A and B are shown apart, each in its own frame.
Chain A
Amino acid sequence: MNAAALVRYVLRRIGLAIAVLWAAFTVSFIVLYLMPGDPVATMAGGGLDGEPLTPAELDALRARYGLDQPLIVQYGQHLWNALHGDFGTSVQSGQDVRAAIAEALPPTLQIATAGLVVAIVGGTALAVVATFTRVRWLKQALLGLPSLAVSLPVFWVGLMLVQIFSFGLRLFPSVGAEGPASLVLPAITLGLPTGALVAQVLAKSLDQTLTEPYVTTARAKGVGRAAIHLRHALRNAAIPALTVLGYVVGNLLAGSVVVETVFTRPGIGRLTVAAVGVQDIPLVQGIVVFAAVVFVLVNLVVDLTYPLLDPRIATGATA
């Protein structure tokens, strides 16, 4: 790929990323502000339980949040603020939305990263072993695991792990966020569904790749099975798995909602549950847009990884 094409490619990716973020903002605005119901009434009702506000107080609130303006003006105002990184203040705590998210981020980042490692390592290992083994029952059993794993409710898996490993075997703590030991069970819980997806896609892709004619060519050269599996097939098979990974990494963030609740850990997930509970609209919108940012960044990384795996993508533009 020549320099000009590379610049065009990168510019297009960035343009696309901005478009996705703008659209995510718009979608969340539509969902949160245009749905039936009065945002002020819901916000006020949720925020100040049991103390009905007077109409005058409601109007004051509306004016404070700019809700007395026409919708298009509100949208423009919110978008303008969002462009400056200002998503307003939390109705519940009065804290700046951006600060609230930034504060909740580190513990979530910990379990998400640990969960991602569990997912990639576990998923890849399972797929490689399942497609390599010639023991039929083992292959069947291994390939059955992912569909089992995606059928289990995440919250239930977490609780069962706590039951067995915390209350039963007393190996890991059941709640909290202190020390690496507290990370193990949440990471497994969070990584399980993602890892199952990776394993499923990679195993299918590996099986398919192993029937490709170029694998026959390699076998006809006298190359051994393990070398064919790891040197020829895995790299070709990794591409679909990578694509899927790009799409499901966002699920790690979403999964933190359940996992942090189960393990009583602080983080984005708990923040979300609390925000939804009191219908804290600015905070919920901030979190949704933040999730889109994460998605866009992850997929940017994925897109830049493709050419390393598949030369057709790197040179395809000029070939």
Chain B
Amino acid sequence: MTELLERPQSALPEPVPVQVTRPDRGKLLRFLGHRPGLVLSLLMVAFVLVAAFAPGLLAPGDPGVGDTAERLQPPSPAHIFGTDYLGRDVWTRVVHGASLSLQATVIAVAVALVIGGLIGLLAGFVRGWLDDLLMRVVDVLLAIPAVLLSLALITALGYGTVKVAIAVGVASVASFARVMRAETLRVRQATYVEAAYAVGTRWYVTLWRHVLPNAAGPVAVLAVLEFGLAILAVSALSFLGYGAPPPAPEWGSLVAEGRNYLAVAWWLCALPGLTIAATVLAVNRISRALDGEWRRFR
């Protein structure tokens, strides 16, 4: 049964292999055509990127200035996300908040990816006592919930967007290290790596040419996934009030500001929160697409 699905072409006489061409544009369109959710996710991420780098394009107003005469207006064509207690346009604040929130997320993922990746690669490739030592450290980091570890770092470092980002990044080092190590180990034990040794390839060439490229895939998938988690973690810390000081708009702190008006102005919490959720959902959907969906389709 499985044999049949794996190599349907193997029969007598030895068959001409199935011609597999490089992915062309038609194929990509067909792939996306069957996945409206993925298209939506890509659009969402593109939208957030525009908001982060050129917020003026989407919301020309000033996020810090409001008209108190128009305070606590529900969503309307003039203010599609409504206005807050100072009459500021919530849509403008959400768009301008993307920049700070995204900046923190990128820093967090970069910190986790670089430190965790190096630890994992080293542990998986060198093995021996170094592996044991590094993995024990990673185990301990896993034993402390990420939020608490981040909070401990914030206690030491203080408040601010960048510090929150570093705190979130360090707290995710462990999961990157584990995945990178597992992948390195898996690839290292692959027969083709032993075959490379057997034909006389040097270890550093093997590491560079065989181990890294084959181990990188799952780590890249994790990095995208971690992006979503980092958005959540950063906004949670910002919600608790450890991020940029007001009145700077950050996604988490926008929700926190709206909390006091929950009973009278639902949109103050609901819409910025929905933006966060939609972004994370989009990122997770893309991560799933990268994780084999495209490969299986080809």
Contacts of B255 in A (CB 8 A): 153, 155-156, 159
Interface size counted on chain B using CB atoms at 8 A: 47
CB closest residue in chain A, given B242: A276
Q: B263 contacts the other chain (Cβ, under 8 Å)?
A: yes
A151:B273 contact, CB within 8 angstroms: no
A–B Cβ pairs within 8 angstroms, 28 of them: A20-B139, A23-B136, A27-B137, A28-B144, A32-B155, A32-B156, A147-B281, A151-B280, A151-B284, A152-B277, A153-B232, A153-B277, A155-B239, A156-B269, A167-B262, A251-B146, A251-B147, A253-B148, A254-B145, A254-B146, A257-B151, A258-B147, A261-B240, A272-B151, A277-B241, A281-B155, A284-B152, A291-B144
Q: Which positions in A face B, CB cutoff 8 Å?
A: 19-20, 23-24, 27-28, 31-32, 35-37, 42, 147-148, 150-156, 159-160, 162-163, 167, 247, 250-251, 253-255, 257-258, 261-262, 272-273, 275-277, 279-281, 284-285, 287-288, 291-292, 295-296
Distance of A118 from chain B, by nearest CB (Å): 18
Q: B33 contacts the other chain (Cβ, under 8 Å)?
A: no
A288:B149 contact, CB within 8 angstroms: yes
Contacts of A261 in B (CB 8 A): 239-240
Contacts of B281 in A (CB 8 A): 147-148, 151
Contacts of A27 in B (CB 8 A): 137, 140-141, 144
B270:A279 contact, CB within 8 angstroms: no
Distance of B194 from chain A, by nearest CB (Å): 28
Distance of B231 from chain A, by nearest CB (Å): 8
Q: Which positions in B face A, CB cutoff 8 Å?
A: 136-137, 139-149, 151-158, 228, 232, 235-236, 239-242, 252, 255-256, 259, 262-263, 266, 269-270, 273-274, 276-277, 280-281, 284-285, 288
Contacts of A275 in B (CB 8 A): 155
Known contacts A23-B136, A160-B269, A296-B143; decide if A273 and B152 are in contact (CB<8 Å).
no
A272:B148 contact, CB within 8 angstroms: yes
CA distance A246 to B239 in the complex (A): 27
CA distance A295 to B288 in the complex (A): 29
B259:A159 contact, CB within 8 angstroms: yes
Contacts of A285 in B (CB 8 A): 152
B143:A159 contact, CB within 8 angstroms: no
CA distance A251 to B156 in the complex (A): 22
A153:B152 contact, CB within 8 angstroms: no
A292:B273 contact, CB within 8 angstroms: no
Contacts of B235 in A (CB 8 A): 153, 155
B141, B152, B259: the one contacting A32 at CB < 8 Å is: B152
Distance of B240 from chain A, by nearest CB (Å): 6
B137, B147, B157, B158: the one contacting A23 at CB < 8 Å is: B137
Contacts of A279 in B (CB 8 A): 155, 158
CA distance A147 to B280 in the complex (A): 10
